[in-house]
Structure 1
Amino acid sequence: MLCFFGNCQVAHMRATLASTGETTTYVRLPHTDFFTDADVGPRHVAFRRQAVAMGLEKNLTSRVLIPQQELRTLKPAVIVTNLFNERPVLTRADDGYSVSISQNDLAKCSRAQREWLLAGFVFRQADPTGYARRFVEYLKRLRKAYPETPLVLLDRLRPCPAIGPSPRSLLHEWDERFQEMWAVISQGAMATGGVRFFSLEAATARFCMRAAHGIDEAVPFLRFDDELPCLARPRGCPPDQTPDPASHARRDIEHFSASFSEFLAKLLVSGVAPREPDAAHRAWLAAPYAPRPLDGTALRQLLGSGDAHRTAIALGNMILRKKPATEALLEHARDIPAQQNVLNMVRGYALAFPSVGIVRWCAMHAKKAARDLAFREEGYLGNYLGRVEAVAQAATARLASAMRAREAISA
């Protein structure tokens, strides 16, 4: 059995292998302290009983601390873990028992449910500067629980020219202190013993050197801040003065595409997962990123794929190459999935290329989302539709601003 401990990065690898018939299991860890030496079985059972009585099972079931006694029943042939980011947890002051619930889920709780939780628990956000040390301690506890089981440690992407726009990691301070943090973690892992490194940098280079869309095919999502410049150039503005949107874009290195997750999973089971980049990999990582040209046919194929990752490739390409294609977006409005990361990129497009067409797209997308997301938990659809409306409002405001700029130049 292959056991995966961590966040969505290893969860998607596990899903790929499970679909091929491999025996796997996944333990979601929102905090390095969640894998503990303490036998919390009785406390866990008591809390679960109370949570069910309060109607909180839906919010907490998949997020409750896994008791050590349950983990001991696992018989893994290999354990795979990654450098998962930590989330705030609710911790009971008297015995340290912890559960994880998102702020969004907490906000959905009734007043009585929130009062019960907050009366016995306090929110605890781990000190981000101590992550490397805490992760080493987590590895030691994992080794103690499974002294003979091989451990595979999947590391993280680091900022480098090939990744493109400034990387955005959910692991606090990784983007700025990755060398220092990795030095502590890698040394601690070697001291722990029986840990094999799986270099994400090397795997990314190997994948992207053969991928049609390069790095955009591995980690396709980009984030854009509110300062993203409007690229609807006023009449009379010289082309060389058009703002560069890449300076306001950040590569989301947290969320992998399905094809990249599948590639990583195959590398894992093949036994040839790279431990460090070779010369060819390092050369690719050092080469500056440039979005690859897409003609109209290729763009429409991506937008019409119905796949979130392929849609993101098209949106990012249009923004970074300053090549709007709002007509194509409208043409494939029914194909573009209702997905948060895609919507974030549409928002970036709306800020860069505001138009009446984008406002129309938002109206069409809202109808699609109402159908496609009706099955989601209470509150999710309303939240998503609110974000769609915010994109329409941002486009309208930018469009009005661009028109005023044109009028000022004409005057």
Structure 2
Amino acid sequence: MILFRGNCQMQFCAEAATAAGLPAGFASLASPVTLARSPGFVPPLLAKMIAAAGVGEYLHTRELADQFLPPPESPRPDVLVVNLFHENTPLFLHEREGHAFYIDPRALDAAPAFGRFIKRHYRAIAPNPATYLDRLANMLLAWREALPDIPLIVCGRMSHFPGLGPSPHSYLQGWGEACFDAGREFAAWAADLPGVRYLDADRIMAGVMARSGTPVEAHFPFLRVRPADDGALAISRDLEHAGGLWPAIVAKVEEALETGQVAYAPDEAVPASWDKPFAPERLDEAAMLPLLISGSNYKAARAVGQFFFRPETDFTELLVTAAPYMPVCHNLLSMVRAYGRWRKNPVLAGWCEAHARTAATFTANGEAYREEYLGKIEDLARMLLAPGTV
């Protein structure tokens, strides 16, 4: 069995492994701090209070056992794979006992008695981004000590090459500044640990893109958009979600298990274009509509991303046409909301109405997710229909 640990990137890898017929497991991690400060067991009162308050959903799959304990040795995995996962904040630090854990702060309001317990015994903290790699190194050493005979693979994350822009973004704070120096030093250090191999995400993704022949937008379609100080838009590309990367990582893990080494093919080399300024693709509406109605969050986001680089055209009507077919996805919704705030076209309220009907029936990620998602649609509609919007 391949045991993946980390954030959603490792979850996607576990899903890709399962789709390939490989036994795989996954567990979410919140921060290396939770293991570093662990008493060696799950604090029983904390577990009891979370269960009694019914707020386990607010752990967002970062289960207490995975926060406080190293991966279990039984059933024995064939390999343990962990990525450079971003940290969830805030963490809650016990004032007297010193342990720390993550739960969504909204849990404190959802269950007032639990909130009083947390406020009485814990205080919120945020780890220093500058020392993240040190924390991760300590976690890996602890895992290596706890599981000395299990192969360990560390999966890197995408570096912030300008050609992957505009303004590449990672959810790991400070990674843009660290990826080309401290990140590579960490990779070399990890690869020298006994029984540890390091996977270069840049090289693996370069191979995926070379073999597909498709542009950056097809692999990293999600954008983060906000107003800039000069009244324009500040646009950054989300490098966390790259659909084609996960099966390629799984294949590389399989290969490393068979050979004991990590090797790269000739096409798995960072191309020169990644070091050049980003140039957006340009699709016409005839090409965008099939993407929007495909039911794929990646394809739909690729189309919506076009809108922000075409200020001369209002694509609101196109969005409304596609609304009944667009999938429930927070990253995609964030882009549509940004477009609505930018254009302020009340016609987009029709998109909100249609998409809310889809979202109302989406329960796969739990009730808290559904309520938050519907609330964001409602907020967008309210803004669009406010007097004086246009």
Q: Could you tell me the TM-score, scaled by structure 2's length?
A: 0.86
What are the superposed Cα offsets for residues 225-244 of structure 1, whole Å, 9 maximum, x if unpaired?
123988xxxxxxxxxxxx7x
Corresponding position of 2:2: 2
Corresponding position of 1:404: none
Residues of 2 paired with 1:32 and 1:276: CA distance?
33
What are the superposed Cα offsets for residues 173-205 of structure 1, whole Å, 9 maximum, x if unpaired?
111232343144234314533322211111222
User: In the alignment, does 2:290 pair up with 1:301?
Assistant: yes
Aligned partner (choices 312, 317, 332) of residue 322 of structure 2: 332
- Higher mean displacement: 307-316 or 140-149: 140-149
Aligned partner (choices 328, 331, 344) of residue 341 of structure 1: 331
Residues of 1 paired with 2:70 and 2:84: CA distance?
24
Q: Report the alpha carbon displacement of residue 37 of structure 1 after superposing the two structures with TM.
A: 9.3
Q: Report the alpha carbon displacement of residue 330 of structure 1 after superposing the two structures with TM.
A: 1.6
How many pairs align?
A: 382
Corresponding position of 2:162: 161
Residues of 2 paired with 1:16 and 1:275: CA distance?
20
Alignment-mate amino acid for residue 319 of structure 1: F
Corresponding position of 1:268: 253
Q: Report the alpha carbon displacement of residue 277 of structure 1 after superposing the two structures with TM.
A: 8.9
Q: Larger radius of gyration, structure 1 or 2?
A: 1
- Spell out the pairing of 1:365-376 with structure 2 (5 A cutoff): 365-373=355-363
Residues of 1 paired with 2:27 and 2:51: CA distance?
21
Partner of 2:211, secondary structure, is coil
Q: 1:273 to 1:335 in 2, by over 3 A?
A: farther
Partner of 2:160, secondary structure, is coil
Q: 1:187 to 1:371 in 2, by over 3 A?
A: closer
What are the superposed Cα offsets for residues 238-265 of structure 1, whole Å, 9 maximum, x if unpaired?
xxxxx7x5xx2100112333x4323332
Partner of 1:122, secondary structure, is strand
Corresponding position of 1:105: 107
Contact 1:198 1:276 in 2 (8 A): no
Residues of 1 paired with 2:37 and 2:385: CA distance?
55
User: In the alignment, does 2:314 pair up with 1:314?
Assistant: no
Q: CA RMSD in A?
A: 3.1
What are the superposed Cα offsets for residues 37-63 of structure 1, whole Å, 9 maximum, x if unpaired?
96633x545543343234344444743
Aligned partner (choices 358, 373, 387) of residue 376 of structure 2: 387
Q: 1:22 to 1:35 in 2, by over 3 A?
A: farther
Partner of 1:369, secondary structure, is helix
Residues of 2 paired with 1:49 and 1:89: CA distance?
18
Q: Report the alpha carbon displacement of residue 342 of structure 1 after superposing the two structures with TM.
A: 0.8
Q: Could you tell me the TM-score, scaled by structure 1's length?
A: 0.82
What are the superposed Cα offsets for residues 52-104 of structure 1, whole Å, 9 maximum, x if unpaired?
23434444474314354872324222111111111232232333333320123
Aligned partner (choices 255, 267, 270) of residue 281 of structure 1: 270
Alignment-mate amino acid for residue 139 of structure 1: L
Q: 1:128 to 1:279 in 2, by over 3 A?
A: closer
Residues of 2 paired with 1:304 and 1:59: CA distance?
32
Corresponding position of 1:253: 239
Residues of 1 paired with 2:218 and 2:273: CA distance?
15
Alignment-mate amino acid for residue 51 of structure 2: V
Residues of 2 paired with 1:278 and 1:69: CA distance?
36
Partner of 2:270, secondary structure, is helix
- Higher mean displacement: 214-223 or 185-194: 185-194
Q: 1:39 to 1:114 in 2, by over 3 A?
A: closer
Contact 2:7 2:29 in 1 (8 A): yes
What are the superposed Cα offsets for residues 332-360 of structure 1, whole Å, 9 maximum, x if unpaired?
11011232111111123224444232232
Residues of 2 paired with 1:145 and 1:390: CA distance?
48
Gap runs ≥5 in structure 2: none
Alignment-mate amino acid for residue 153 of structure 2: V
Residues of 1 paired with 2:368 and 2:148: CA distance?
44
- Higher mean displacement: 72-81 or 264-273: 264-273
Residues of 2 paired with 1:74 and 1:2: CA distance?
11
- Spell out the pairing of 1:166-177 with structure 2 (5 A cutoff): 166-177=167-178
> Percent identity over the alignment?
26
